[in-house]
């Protein structure tokens, strides 16, 4: 096991340190070091320590389509505008208004999950946002199971839930824990 370190400028501030751990003994793992000046897509966990941002990456790949740069810059501008305009509230299904709140995981059993909190216009579909919100709100160390998601999203079909989970996993928002049926958010505090 070794790590590859990069300095990446994501156009949100100063360049960030990105560390990717790779298993050098596994022949199926690509441990190619990308040359400086390469445009990349990084999937991982953003960390902040003593006002220094860094990313622990579980995926670094070169961009195949330069439109991804334009898309990223638009997402940065949108995030800045959304964070700078706190009076706008987004509506979730059923006419309820969603107000950004901080999530507190109590660790106690039987507590309801956050549901529609932390939902913003982030490019995900409504189903993907609902699934991600429930996974983020799960206080259990093993994460939430697909069956639990199905139970909490009563009217949503199992196929739609599995498709959302697969998409969120492929995009680096969630990861499987104890088996391929339990998932946790990559930005969870555990």
Strand partners, 5: 19
Residue 105 in this model has a pLDDT that exceeds 50: no
Token readout for 63 is 């961009």
- Which domain, by its residues, includes 101? 90-185
Co-location of 113 and 51 in the same domain: no
Sign of CA dihedral 11, 15, 17, 19: positive
| CA pair distance 189, 130, nearest whole angstrom | 19
What's the CATH number where 179 sits? Answer: 1.10.10.10
pLDDT tens per residue, range 62-87 = 998 989 888 888 888 887 777 765 54
pLDDT tens per residue, range 122-161 = 678 888 888 998 998 888 888 999 999 999 988 888 999 9
Task: Identify whether 39 is part of a domain.
Answer: yes
Co-location of 97 and 56 in the same domain: no
Co-location of 7 and 46 in the same domain: yes
Contact 100, 121 (CB under 8 A): no
């Amino acid at each position: 096991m070794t790590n590859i370190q990069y300095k990446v400028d994501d156009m949100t501030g100063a360049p960030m340190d990105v560390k990717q751990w790779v298993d050098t003994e596994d022949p199926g793992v690509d441990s190619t070091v990308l040359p400086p000046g390469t445009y990349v897509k990084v999937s991982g966990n953003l960390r902040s320590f003593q006002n220094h941002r860094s990313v622990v990456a579980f995926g670094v790949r070169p961009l195949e389509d330069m439109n991804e740069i334009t898309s990223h810059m638009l997402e940065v501008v949108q995030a800045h505008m959304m964070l700078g305009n706190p009076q706008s509230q987004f509506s979730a299904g059923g006419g309820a208004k969603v107000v950004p709140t901080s999530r507190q995981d109590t660790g106690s059993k039987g507590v309801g999950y956050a549901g529609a909190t932390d939902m913003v216009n982030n490019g995900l579909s409504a189903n993907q946002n609902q699934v991600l919100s429930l996974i983020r709100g799960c206080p259990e160390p093993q994460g939430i199971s697909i069956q639990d998601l199905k139970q909490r999203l009563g009217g949503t079909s199992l196929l739609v839930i599995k498709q959302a989970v697969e998409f969120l996993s492929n995009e680096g928002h969630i990861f499987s824990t104890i088996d391929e049926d339990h998932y946790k958010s990559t930005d969870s505090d555990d």
